[in-house]
Amino acid sequence: MPSSMIEINGLVKKYGERVAVKGVSFSVQEGEIFGLLGPNGAGKTTTISILATLLPPDGGQATIGGYDLLQETKQIKPLIGFVPQELALYPTLSAWDNLAFFGRIYGLGGPALRERIAAVLDLVGLSERAGDAVQTFSGGMKRRLNITAGLIHQPRILFLDEPTVGVDPQSRNFIFEHVERLKAEGMTVLYTTHYMEEAERLCDRVAIMDEGHILALDTLKGLIGLLGGGVIYIGLPGDALERLLPPIHALSHVLAASAQDGRLKIETSDARSALLELIELCNARDVPILSLEVLEPNLESVFLHLTGKQLRD
Amino acid sequence: MLKQILALTWKDLKVFFKDLGGVAVIFLQPFMFIVIMSYALGGLFEPGEDQIQLLAVNQDRGTQAAAILRQLDEMDAFAVETTWEGQPLSREMAGKLIVDGKRNLALVFPPDFSAVLEQDPAAEERQTTKILVVVDPATSSQFVEPILGTLQGLLERTTYTAMMPKGIDYFFERLAPQTPSEQREEFKAQAQEAMSGGLLGGQEPLVTMERTVPAGMHVEEYPDAFQQNVPGYTIYGIFWIVSLLAGSVLQEKREGTFRRLLVAPMNRVVMLAGKLLPYYIINLIQLVIMLGASSLLFGMNLGHSPTGLVAVSLAAAAAATGLGVLVSALVRTEAQVGGLTVLLLLTLSALGGCFVPRFIMPAWLKTIGLVTPHAWALDAYQDLLVRGYGLLDVLPKVGVLAAFAGLFFGIGVWRFRFE
């Protein structure tokens, strides 16, 4: 098994005239949790659907587990587990029957299947409800079972497409712990989300996607490092913008500064210290501060910094 | 409040009209049904257009049978055919035309028909005769009985006309002016009897009608209403599996279970076949229950060929589930599932003769009916249940049904959108 479990290069997907994925490239290492972070419509689900063999790409290459995505689909399918955004379960069947069905589809059977079902139900805390129809479950229980159904055949790579949508905080935590356990067991996970905190908590590396492009790809630390110590947006009177740029550049905690939409965007090595220096400078030059916004260094602000819009826009 | 009601109404109208397929089906469905049923029943309600064709084999050595046939032919509802492709009809030819499904009913007038009607009322030995009514046993009694009733009326009128002059002569010979009133009353009664043909003894009519089936059909007794109606409604019923199957496929697509299955190591054709098989089994169970219950509860005769029945049932169920796959491939919304299945099933059932016998339909509609699996399935079941045929006789129809199944499944797989 190669150390790079997923390798994609210049992936393109079109729906008619609309290009949903525009030349996306990345690789995911074995045992890594790789996050695709972006707002709705960014192209995350399309990308994960291509990798899960659901959609044919219109361009680019990809290998999964070392196998070519287009030529060696048969070899890829047993390696992967897929948890779609929808609750892809049969609501009138019991949890046990659902898992038994998906297990049989993957060729499991007999005592091995029974043992596997019992083990995964225990893992997600649903053993006592095994015989109950799924339609009687809470939203969180359904989500947990939804993930379990993608794991029944013990895949090497798991595709999780927004697995916490519509889930209560308790079940969300349960899902996080479950994914962390999978990572500890060495599973490779590709995780799409538009929740920054999920990516921050779970992912080793994160690719930030928007409008079909990958805008940035790095470890959490690396991405946050894009903001340095944080970004300050400061609104000043029109005549002061150009006048103050050189002294701001000279401040010790400022990395870069530029005028943007009538404000100054100041990238810092330490936002708090830079803010104090800025206020001192404005007071000394008698320039009024019209507005002030400080972006703490986190994924949310990195996304805002990269796209100019909020993650949940 | 009114604004809210209007807003809700406007919203739902917009949602409804966005689904153009659903809209088309909703409006098209009743229209299609009206058109097809009106044309199908046109022959019954609009005499003169699309007449019911009756074969007539006239072996009568006299003129009375010809007179009856002429009167029948003059009626708007009937067209009497005494020749076929320029040749006078024989009983064998008429039987073959019925076996081939070209006609449903033939009247065979015996050689002594006129002689019996014109016999001397004073003759010591009363002569009677019978008209053979050769009829396809699959032909509904509701259709045959009115024809026989009409014929019976004509026979009585002809009998009366033929017998009357001789009856009156007979009375004049016997009557005398000095006859007492009691005797006169008695003679009046006798005259009435003479006019109705009963003077020659007993109440048995001079001419009776005997219903029979064409040579080659093994029918012990004329089929009852169950045998005639059950096949049609059974076929109509099994094709409703289309709605169940298409609804289930749509649900799997909507709920994402199809996406999950598509990721699994499974061929797409296998996936469709697995989706189809349970509905095929349900269809077969449906057939067993419908035919079995009709047999057990109502004593319906299931014919002489269990293997034939199995073969037709397997093929008919395959055609029904195949159509289900095709419809699943075409529909995109719940409204389309409901609308399209109702449109298709009612139209195909009507065209196929499940509601109205195909033989009373205009010729062009009968021809169109042959493009429905319903017509072939119905005909095959009628072959077995009411015509007394066996497996070999129905194999061609089984083949046609299997071809329908293959065609539906093939196009369905080709057009199926898994996403």
- Please write the tens of the pLDDT for every residue from B318-329: 999 999 999 999
Residues of B with Cβ-Cβ distance to A84 under 8 angstroms: 256, 259-260
Highest mean pLDDT: which of A203-207, B248-252, B289-293? A203-207
Phi-psi region of A74 (alpha: psi -120 to 50; beta: other; left: phi over 0): alpha
Instruction: Report the pLDDT value the prediction gives residue A190, as an integer from 0 to 100.
Output: 96
Q: Please tell me whether residue B131 adopts helix, strand or coil conformation.
A: strand
Shortest CA distance to B98 belongs to which of B209, B212, B210, B208? B212
The band of B417, judged by pLDDT with boundaries at 50, 70 and 90, is confident
Per-residue pLDDT at B411 exceeds 70: yes
A53 touches chain B (CB under 8 A): yes
- Please write the tens of the pLDDT for every residue from B35-92: 666 666 655 545 545 677 889 999 998 888 898 889 888 887 788 899 888 888 898 9
- The C-alpha of A279 sits at a distance from chain B's nearest C-alpha, in angstroms, of 53
Instruction: Report the pLDDT value the prediction gives residue B335, as an integer from 0 to 100.
Output: 81
The band of B200, judged by pLDDT with boundaries at 50, 70 and 90, is very low
Sign of the CA dihedral A197, A202, A205, A209?
A: negative
Instruction: Report the pLDDT value the prediction gives residue A94, as an integer from 0 to 100.
Output: 92
Asked if the interface predicted TM-score (ipTM) of this complex is over 0.85, the answer is no
Q: Which of residues 140-159 of A touch B (CB under 8 A)?
A: 149-150
CB burial of residue B147 (10 Å; 0-12, 13-18, 19+)? buried
Residues of A with Cβ-Cβ distance to B256 under 8 angstroms: 84-88
Q: For chain A, give the percent of residues with pLDDT over 70.
A: 97
Cβ–Cβ below 8 Å for B259 and A84: yes
This model's pTM is above 0.90: no
The values of phi and psi at residue B81, to 5°, are: -115, 115
Whether A3 contacts A32, CB under 8 Å? no
Q: In chain A, whose CA is at the least distance from the CA of B262?
A: A54
- C-alpha dist (Å) from residue B412 to A133, B237, B370, B418: 32, 21, 21, 11
The contacts of residue A180 (CB under 8 Å, 6+ apart) are: A202
The tokens for A84 are 């779609």
Q: What does the mean pLDDT of chain B come to?
A: 81
B46 touches chain A (CB under 8 A): no
DSSP string, B313-346: HHHHHHHHHHHHHHHHHH--SHHHHHHHHHHHHH
Shortest CA distance to B350 belongs to which of B33, B138, B42, B26? B33
Q: CA-CA distance, A47 to B291, in Å (whole number)?
A: 53
Higher pLDDT, B124 or A106: A106
- The C-alpha of B270 sits at a distance from chain A's nearest C-alpha, in angstroms, of 11
Q: In chain A, whose CA is at the least distance from the CA of B274?
A: A105
Q: CA-CA distance, B385 to B404, in Å (whole number)?
A: 22
Amino acid (one-letter) located at B19: D
Look-up: residue for tokens 């050689």? B111
Higher pLDDT, B265 or B121: B265
Q: Which has the minimum average pLDDT: A59-68, A114-123, B198-207, B404-413?
A: B198-207
Q: Which of residues 254-293 of B touch A (CB under 8 A)?
A: 255-257, 259-266
Q: CA-CA distance, A32 to B46, in Å (whole number)?
A: 79
The band of A308, judged by pLDDT with boundaries at 50, 70 and 90, is confident
Cβ–Cβ below 8 Å for A54 and B262: yes
The pairing of beta strand B129-135 with beta strand B105-109:
antiparallel
Shortest CA distance to B345 belongs to which of B271, B197, B252, B245? B245
Q: Which residues pair with B170 in a beta bridge?
A: none
Q: Which has the minimum average pLDDT: A11-20, A115-124, B296-305?
A: B296-305
Residues of A with Cβ-Cβ distance to B259 under 8 angstroms: 49, 54, 82, 84, 86, 88
Mean pLDDT of A177-202: 89
Selecting from B257, B264, B419 the residue whose C-beta is nearest the C-beta of A77 gives B264
Instruction: Report the pLDDT value the prediction gives residue A175, as an integer from 0 to 100.
Output: 87
Residue B34 neighbours by CB distance under 10 Å: 10
Per-residue pLDDT at B389 exceeds 50: yes
Torsion of CA B204, B207, B208, B211, to 10 degrees: 170
Per-residue pLDDT at A237 exceeds 70: yes
Q: In what order do the strands lie in the sheet with A18-29?
A: A18-29, A4-15, A59-64, A67-68
Mean pLDDT of B308-325: 95
Per-residue pLDDT at A261 exceeds 60: yes
Mean pLDDT of B234-252: 88
Q: CA-CA distance, A89 to A100, in Å (whole number)?
A: 12
Q: CA-CA distance, B158 to A272, in Å (whole number)?
A: 120
Selecting from A77, A89, A90 the residue whose C-beta is nearest the C-beta of B263 gives A77
Which alpha helices (H) appear in B256-267, and where do they start and end?
257-263
DSSP string, B134-189: EE-TTS-HHHHHHHHHHHHHHHHHHHHHHHHHHHHHHHHHH--TT--HHHHHHHHH
Whether A54 contacts A246, CB under 8 Å? no
Residue B181 neighbours by CB distance under 10 Å: 7
Instruction: Report the pLDDT value the prediction gives residue B201, as an integer from 0 to 100.
Output: 46
A101 touches chain B (CB under 8 A): no
- Please write the tens of the pLDDT for every residue from A112-165: 999 999 999 998 889 999 999 999 998 889 989 999 999 999 999 999 999 888
Residue B146 neighbours by CB distance under 10 Å: 13
Instruction: Report the pLDDT value the prediction gives residue A229, as an integer from 0 to 100.
Output: 79
Shortest CA distance to B65 belongs to which of B139, B125, B149, B155? B155
- Please write the tens of the pLDDT for every residue from B5-33: 666 667 666 666 666 766 665 566 555 65
Look-up: residue for tokens 């073969």? B311
CB burial of residue A181 (10 Å; 0-12, 13-18, 19+)? exposed
Which alpha helices (H) appear in chain A, and where do they start and end?
44-51, 73-76, 95-105, 110-123, 139-149, 169-184, 196-202, 220-225, 238-249, 271-285, 299-307
Instruction: Report the pLDDT value the prediction gives residue B109, as an integer from 0 to 100.
Output: 93
- The C-alpha of B267 sits at a distance from chain A's nearest C-alpha, in angstroms, of 9
Cβ–Cβ below 8 Å for B265 and A80: no
